[in-house]
Amino acid sequence: MSVPKRKTYDNNFKVKVVLAVLKGDRTLSQIVKQFSVSTSMIHLWKKTFLENINNAFPDYRSGKAGSNKCNCGISEKEAENLYAKIGKLEIKNDFLVKKL
């Protein structure tokens, strides 16, 4: 008899589940049924997510080791403007999605 393989989930799926939990509009049991994931797995993903939340917005201007500084040939000022524009577009997109 062969041992069943463990089911693996990609990071995008995990984030989707954790955000559904953090949103708070549904109970945990509803989320478990919707995503077919155990409660213990959801608690583990949520704990991991919250412990690593500080890495979600790296400080590009600090020049610290491990920062995700862009090496694409544009100045820091241009990069900051692009990041600001991306943020504005994401806000507009979220607003329009909610209106639909």
Same domain, 50 and 75: no
- Contact indicator for 73, 42 with CB cutoff of 8 Å: no
Same domain, 51 and 12: yes
51, pLDDT greater than 80: yes
Domain assignment present for residue 63? The answer is no
Please tell me whether residue 56 adopts helix, strand or coil conformation: coil
Same domain, 19 and 52: yes
Query: What angle is formed at CA 16 by the lines to CA 21 and CA 33, rounded to 5 degrees?
Result: 60
Domain assignment present for residue 64? The answer is no
Same domain, 26 and 48: yes
- Which whole number is the average pLDDT over 76-94? 84
Same domain, 48 and 80: no
Same domain, 39 and 78: no
Q: How far is CA 76 from the centre of its chain?
A: 25
Domain assignment present for residue 15? The answer is yes
Distance (Å, rounded) from C-alpha 54 to C-alpha 69? 17
Domain assignment present for residue 1? The answer is no
- Which whole number is the average pLDDT over 17-41? 93
- Which whole number is the average pLDDT over 2-20? 89
Domain assignment present for residue 3? The answer is no
Same domain, 23 and 47: yes
- Which whole number is the average pLDDT over 42-61? 83
Count of domains observed in the chain: 2
59, pLDDT greater than 90: no
Q: Residue 72 — pLDDT band, cuts 50, 70, 90?
A: low
Predicted structure pTM score? 0.55
pLDDT score for 65: 47
Domain span at residue 46 reads 8-56
CB contact set of 74 (below 8 Å; sequence gap of 6+): 82
Q: Which two tokens stand for residue 37?
A: 């994931």
User: Considering only 45-49, 87-91, 95-99, which range has the smallest mean pLDDT?
Assistant: 95-99
CB contact set of 28 (below 8 Å; sequence gap of 6+): 21, 39, 42
